[in-house]
């Protein structure tokens, strides 16, 4: 499916389900990783994650489009467009859109931790990302930090 075909599909769903036209752009955004779609408040455009179409099919894509169109139409009408707003929940239920999209298969279930310790007092620091040990010092005694080890846990073990 191309961006032009996606644009036509979004316009069609907007008319059928919401009885309102979609007057902005809809396109696939390859940078989206953890979400099925995104409504942009400033430009009123809708980004869609192509992987949901590939992995879950057309029904999942239509559900994501309905969800994002709920944000779109409520925002333009000045009504509650956020996930927690009652108007959003009611419109989503009315048009049959999903509250959340399905998860993508093969997601990253590995967790990485980097362990540093202070060379002066021995305090250990557990971090998700590597840090520059020349730039940072121990928060307790201002001693030098040193890299100890990197731990990779599978299946979300802590």
Whole-angstrom distance, CA of residue 108 vs CA of residue 157: 13
Whole-angstrom distance, CA of residue 101 vs CA of residue 64: 7
Catalytic, out of 60, 68, 90, 157: 68
User: Can you say how many angstroms the Cα of residue 22 is from the centroid of all Cα atoms in its chain?
Assistant: 23
Is residue 11 among the annotated active site residues?
no
Whole-angstrom distance, CA of residue 69 vs CA of residue 44: 10
Q: Which tokens hold the place of 43?
A: 């430009």
Contact between 98 and 67 under an 8 Å Cβ cutoff? The reply is yes
Active-site residue list:
68
């Amino acid at each position: 499916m191309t961006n032009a075909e996606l644009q036509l599909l979004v316009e069609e769903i907007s008319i059928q389900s919401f009885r309102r036209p979609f007057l902005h752009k809809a396109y696939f955004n390859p940078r989206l990783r953890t979400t099925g779609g995104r409504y942009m408040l400033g430009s009123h455009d809708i980004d869609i994650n192509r992987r949901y179409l590939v992995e879950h099919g057309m029904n999942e894509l239509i559900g994501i489009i309905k969800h994002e169109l709920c944000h779109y139409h409520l925002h333009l009408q000045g009504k509650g467009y956020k996930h927690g707003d009652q108007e959003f929940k009611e419109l989503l239920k009315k048009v049959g859109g999903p509250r959340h999209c399905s998860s993508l298969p093969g997601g990253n279930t590995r967790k990485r931790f980097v362990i540093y310790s202070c060379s002066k007092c021995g305090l250990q620091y557990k971090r998700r990302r590597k840090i520059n040990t020349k730039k940072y010092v121990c928060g307790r005694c201002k001693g030098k930090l040193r890299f100890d080890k990197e731990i990779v846990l599978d299946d979300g073990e802590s």
